[in-house]
Amino acid sequence: MIPSGATAIVGAAESTEIGAVPNMSSVGLAIDAAANAMSDAGIAASDIDGFTCGYFPVADMSRQLGIFPKWADNTVVGGCSWFFQLRNAVAAIHAGYCHTVLIVYGESGKSTRGLGQSFDAGQRGGTGQQFDMLYSGGQAAATFTLPVLRYQREYGLSDEELAVGAVSQRQWATEVPRATLREPTSVEEVLNSPMIAWPIRRAMCCLVSDAGGAIIVTSADRAKDYPKPPVYILGSGGALEAGVMSPGGVREPLRPEFIRTSGEAAFASSGITHEDIDHLMIYDAFIHTPIFGLEGLGFVNYGEGGHFIAEGHTAPGGKLPMNTSGGGLSYAHTGAYGMLCMLESIRQVRGEAANQVADVEIALCHGWGGYWSACSTLVFGASAP
């Protein structure tokens, strides 16, 4: 097993602008974020010998940035691709394949809805294209959310209780200058927002935004020489379960095993317990995903996640601060939001978040890919054990 804290993040940045950035392509947003991350780390392309980007042809992007990597990866599993790539980068650095990896992401999700062709879940003859996408046209709000009604009925979670998740995250977002939605909201307002796919209303769905993000990771030894305090990678997990375009392939939809698998690996490899976690990010593509994350990761028992959020425990002042940027619902959501989720965790550990939680020593970040095909869990720490 890779020792906890063997690697650390030494550069991390978003694109200069996020939200609506019509003058930049997905590639442009990625390059902007990469430049910002290199500046944050105080290095140039020549200092980087490992590269991964996911949604673009990896060689096109590395060449454009002037990086000539000895190691490359392009694992694409949807919105948590960058979680998987960071895990792979940690392993590659530990194995000695390279010493410093740049992970790059950009998506003009709002202005051009344009991604590279390397992630085409709807390719003709593919499983999703043949058996899942025709029913909803592939609409995430109608398909990714399919387990919600079952959860509500099984565990007695009312629409009002479900809606609290959006209100809590907006409470966080009101204090975040870069958040897209900063006006306080209410359960009534959430439940009066337009119906998209009953029982899912618009305020329960993520935003559609433009943004880029980039992360630079290196060995713990090297990390000490960088300008910013290192954010150590203490542990990680990851797992796949359903096909890409429907949660129908999850064997127990109310107790998804892939979440448990990813979480258990992250806790075991980092050697921490739930009580050690000061700050939590759970990718919120829709209002229900943090509920399933809280349960699958073991913060609460099955059936308790919805009520836990409804009781305010994840909101400002709660015992488990979660999605403190405002998340996909209020901060920004590009399409594959995982990178932005990781960057908020990193900012919190560095102590430079807009909504800084006091004394964040350990932060856990959990992301999803596809409509429940993948997930990954990362544990970041301010110090190595």
Partner 1 sequence: MPHPLVPVPTPETQPFWDGCQEGILRINKCLTCGSAYFPPSPICPECSSTDVEYFDASGDATLYSYTIQQKPFFLWGSEGPRSVALVKLAEGPMLTSSIVNCEQTPEALQLDMPLRATFVPFDEITVLCFEPAEQQS
Residues forming contacts to partner 1 in the complex (CB under 8 A) are 122, 124-125, 127, 129-139, 141-143, 145-150, 153, 194-200, 243, 246-249, 253
Token pair of 213 as six digits = 């993000």
C-alpha to C-alpha distances, 46 to 8, 36, 68, 90, 347, nearest whole angstrom: 19, 15, 8, 20, 25
Q: Which is nearer to partner 1, 22 or 137 (CB)?
A: 137
Tell which residue, 2, 44, 41, has the closest CA to residue 229: 41
Q: Which is nearer to partner 1, 145 or 314 (CB)?
A: 145
Q: Which is nearer to partner 1, 130 or 301 (CB)?
A: 130
Q: Characterize 200-209 residue by residue with b for buried, 16 or more Cβ atoms within 10 angstroms of its Cβ, and e for exposed.
A: bbebbbbbbb
Q: Which is nearer to partner 1, 95 or 134 (CB)?
A: 134
Cα–chain center distance at 280: 11
| Minimum distance, C-beta of residue 308 to partner 1, in the bound complex (Å) | 21
Tell which residue, 219, 221, 259, 218, has the closest CA to residue 242: 259
| Minimum distance, C-beta of residue 34 to partner 1, in the bound complex (Å) | 31
Residue 66 has, within 13 A of its CA and on its CB side, a CA count of 8
| Minimum distance, C-beta of residue 195 to partner 1, in the bound complex (Å) | 5
Q: Which is nearer to partner 1, 134 or 268 (CB)?
A: 134
Q: Which is nearer to partner 1, 242 or 265 (CB)?
A: 242
Q: Which is nearer to partner 1, 5 or 243 (CB)?
A: 243
Q: Which is nearer to partner 1, 221 or 252 (CB)?
A: 252
Pairing of strands 374-381, 362-369: antiparallel
Q: Which is nearer to partner 1, 331 or 368 (CB)?
A: 368
| Minimum distance, C-beta of residue 78 to partner 1, in the bound complex (Å) | 17
Q: Characterize 21-37 residue by residue with b for buried, 16 or more Cβ atoms within 10 angstroms of its Cβ, and e for exposed.
A: beebbbbbbbbbbbbbb
| Minimum distance, C-beta of residue 122 to partner 1, in the bound complex (Å) | 6
* Coil, strand or helix at 224: coil
| Minimum distance, C-beta of residue 235 to partner 1, in the bound complex (Å) | 29
Answer whether the bond into residue 3 is a cis peptide, omega within 30°: no
Token pair of 17 as six digits = 């602008």
Integer Cα distance of 52 and 102 in angstroms: 7
| Minimum distance, C-beta of residue 101 to partner 1, in the bound complex (Å) | 34
| Minimum distance, C-beta of residue 143 to partner 1, in the bound complex (Å) | 6
DSSP string, 240-290: E-S-TT-GGG-SSTTS-HHHHHHHHHHHHHHT--GGG--EEEE--SBTTHH
Under a CB-based contact definition with an 8 Å cutoff, are residues 275 and 262 in contact?
A: no
Under a CB-based contact definition with an 8 Å cutoff, are residues 206 and 329 in contact?
A: yes
| Minimum distance, C-beta of residue 144 to partner 1, in the bound complex (Å) | 9
